[in-house]
A and B are shown apart, each in its own frame.
Chain A
Amino acid sequence: MITMITQENAPLTVRKYFAAGNPGPIAQTLAHTPETLNVSLPFIGQVLGASSISFRIKEIVILRTSYLLACKYCVNTHTVVALKAGLSDDEVQALRGENPVSAFSDEKEQALIQWTDVVALGPQPILDSHRSQVLAHFSEPEVVELTLLIGATVMLNRYASALNLPVSGAHQEILSAKGLVY
């Protein structure tokens, strides 16, 4: 296991990320190399966090990608986040491959899930027909942002799986109470 850097041992140039307590295992492991944390966390925050694209749409992408990449930490953590973003239990389970994707009735969201599936999984070529389909529902800037979001999530999925990052106790409790532990 990689040691978690805690508030007490946080390098001086990254203490701002620890000001409100320990920021979670991704930042707490990246803090081993503060110069990396200082560029990667703003990037992750920008790509995965609040932007012109809605919280719900972003969480559909993150949870779906994490399921496809079989990242236990990310699926569990983003199940909790997706519920906060307003996804139903059925929708969450659909993104996790436990229910049919038809749980999503909105065509736009179905197109997004299909785009996520072809982009995240690879290595098959992504066809013009795939691009046309997603561009029928999302603007060019949105497709750019969502595609980068898929890529960033893949990176974090592999990072969290490789380092076996632990799901927080608070998230475990929520998942257990709802029977949604992955």
Chain B
Amino acid sequence: MSLPSRITYAIDQGKLSGRLWLYSNYHCNLACRYCLTESAPSSPKRQLSLDSMMDVVHQARELGFRAIGVTGGEPFMLPYIEEFLLQATQILPVTVLTNGTLFHQRRLDKLSLLKEHDFRLQISLDSHNPVFNDTMRGPNNFARVVEAIPKLLALGIRVRVATTLTNQSESEIHDVQHFVKKLGVPEEDHLIRKTVQRGRAVTEELGVKAPLEHLVPELTITAEGAFWSPFSPTYIDGRLQSDLLLSRTIAPLSVASKILLDFMQSLEGVVPQDSDELEGFV
């Protein structure tokens, strides 16, 4: 069976995610307490160039992947992110995970060009309570996000909100659901999930442990290699957690794709299993 056929089969069988992830960069204007990648303004950028990201997108489509996810770091720290989105959305549907704090008017104008494409943003918001939210995610985060979401929706951009659970009570979860709905985001576009205990979340003792069998395989490409899932290329004390590294080779994409499929096959049904504890990135 050819590699694209194997990928298509694995996706159709629900064993492999159809979404391929790109860690566009690792630096971020925030330094969230539970960040898997220890991202912060001073973090090493470890960024993928525009050409290498587009190369992955083209190859992903040829191999049978059906969507692209972009995460970081904060993808909107990259000067060429809009250019990438304009090109990539011509090829595959794209979702970008963002902290939602960098949507100035000039950027909104550029993003408005994407409203006709299969494109969506996933913005993090942990609480309806600005103090709690900003304790986890940084000063003024709440205000910026709450300002950005209605503007994006008004442009016709699909916005999902992701709430990361740490120690919020049931009533706090209810309140944030209500709040997000009021911002104009429909219930089905509000993702509430626990964080995974990797990266900075280990140091902060937050989140849930994520054994391999609880992580759906979602091929993930970073400047440092190809990984099992977007929960994998994490850092502790500046050092890569390499336990879920598939290969250092990211191009051609067929190398990492084959390693991933071969490894899945070697597990003989061990992976994936649904977990009540974990949900995907999107």
Q: Which A residues contact B (CB, under 8 angstroms)?
A: 3, 5, 8-13, 31-36
Q: With A35-B255, A35-B259 as known contacts, state yes or no: A12 contacts B246, CB within 8 Å.
A: yes
For A13, the closest partner residue in chain B by CB is B263
Q: Which B residues contact A (CB, under 8 angstroms)?
A: 212, 228, 239, 241-249, 255, 259, 263
Bound complex: CA A9 to CA B241 (Å):
6
Q: Are A12 and B243 interface neighbours, CB within 8 A?
A: yes
For A3, the closest partner residue in chain B by CB is B239
Residues of A close to B212: CB separation below 8 A: 12
Which 7 A-B residue pairings sit nearest by Cβ, starting from the closest?
A: A11-B245, A35-B247, A33-B248, A9-B242, A13-B263, A11-B242, A9-B243
Residues of A close to B245: CB separation below 8 A: 11-12, 34
Q: Are B248 and A35 interface neighbours, CB within 8 A?
A: yes
With A12-B263, A32-B248 already in contact, 19 other A-B pairs whose C-beta atoms are closer than 8 Å? A3-B239, A9-B241, A10-B242, A11-B243, A11-B244, A11-B246, A12-B212, A12-B246, A13-B246, A13-B259, A13-B263, A31-B242, A32-B242, A33-B248, A34-B259, A35-B246, A35-B247, A35-B249, A35-B255
> How many Cβ-Cβ contacts under 8 Å join chain A to chain B?
40
For B258, the closest partner residue in chain A by CB is A35
Bound complex: CA A3 to CA B25 (Å):
24
For A38, the closest partner residue in chain B by CB is B259
Bound complex: CA A3 to CA B129 (Å):
43
Residues of B close to A13: CB separation below 8 A: 246, 259, 263
Residues of A close to B249: CB separation below 8 A: 35
Sample of 22 A–B contacts (CB below 8 Å): A3-B239, A5-B242, A9-B241, A9-B243, A10-B242, A10-B243, A11-B242, A11-B245, A12-B212, A12-B228, A12-B243, A12-B245, A12-B246, A13-B263, A31-B242, A32-B248, A33-B248, A34-B248, A34-B259, A35-B248, A35-B259, A36-B248
Q: Are B243 and A8 interface neighbours, CB within 8 A?
A: yes
Q: Are B247 and A34 interface neighbours, CB within 8 A?
A: yes
For B266, the closest partner residue in chain A by CB is A13
Q: With A12-B263, A13-B259 as known contacts, state yes or no: A34 contacts B246, CB within 8 Å.
A: yes
Bound complex: CA A9 to CA B234 (Å):
12
Residues of A close to B228: CB separation below 8 A: 12
Bound complex: CA A12 to CA B217 (Å):
12
Bound complex: CA A40 to CA B3 (Å):
24
Residues of A close to B242: CB separation below 8 A: 5, 9-11, 31-32
Bound complex: CA A33 to CA B246 (Å):
9
For B245, the closest partner residue in chain A by CB is A11
Residues of B close to A33: CB separation below 8 A: 247-248
Residues of B close to A12: CB separation below 8 A: 212, 228, 243-246, 263
For A10, the closest partner residue in chain B by CB is B243
For A33, the closest partner residue in chain B by CB is B248
For B239, the closest partner residue in chain A by CB is A3
Closest CB of chain A to B252's CB: distance in Å?
12
